[in-house]
Amino acid sequence: MQIRPFAEQDIHSVYAIQLECPEAAQWKLDDYLELAREPGASILIAELDASPSPLIVGFAAFQHVLEEAELRNIAVRPSHRRKGIAKALLAHSIRSLWESGAKTLYLEVRPSNHEARALYASAGFQLQYTRPGYYQNPVEDALVMSLEIPRPSRP
């Protein structure tokens, strides 16, 4: 697996993954293109070498402003979960954000998304507060979590 920056030709794969993952933020197709063009924003792609062409299996979208960053969306194809892909995307994102000067990374997650919460906790995220009724379909609170971005360890 390799993690690489988003390219516009990835848009349909990213959108398809999002649609396979109802627990992910559900954006419009153009939202990804707009985010990718914004200063301080980035989308990372997890790609498997597959014959005859690589297969995109996950993505992470984040935005960085001054010393703060937000993980806006992350998703992995259900057929490729529990293989360390989300963990690798998150680690790569954190390292990239640290290198660009971010000190704190924030995210929002549904309380019912136990897998994502476990992933974030394993990365060191801490619960900051709850936003009541933040999510729709179904209505659910959002847990706002943060991570003081550590200096990356040598690979």
Q: Give per-residue pLDDT as tens, 99-132.
A: 888 999 999 999 999 999 999 999 999 999 999 9
Give the predicted TM-score (pTM) of the model.
Answer: 0.88
Closest CA to 131 of 103, 111, 113: 111
Domains of the chain: 2-148 (3.40.630.30)
pLDDT given at position 135: 86
Residue listed under structure tokens 């659910």 = 140
Q: How far apart are CA 45 and CA 131, in angstroms?
A: 29
pLDDT digit string, tens, across residues 72-83: 999 999 999 999
Burial class of residue 62 in the structure, from the number of CB atoms within 10 Å of its CB (0-12 exposed, 13-18 middle, 19+ buried):
buried
What are the residue numbers of the active site? 108, 120
CA distances from 43 to 21, 58, 70, 113 (A): 17, 10, 12, 22
Per-residue confidence band for 54, with pLDDT thresholds at 50, 70 and 90: confident
Please, what is the average pLDDT of the chain?
90
Of all helices (H) and strands (E), which one includes residue 24?
Answer: none
Percentage of the chain beyond pLDDT 90 is 61
CA–CA separation, 75 vs 32, rounded Å? 13
**pLDDT at residue 152 tops 70:** no
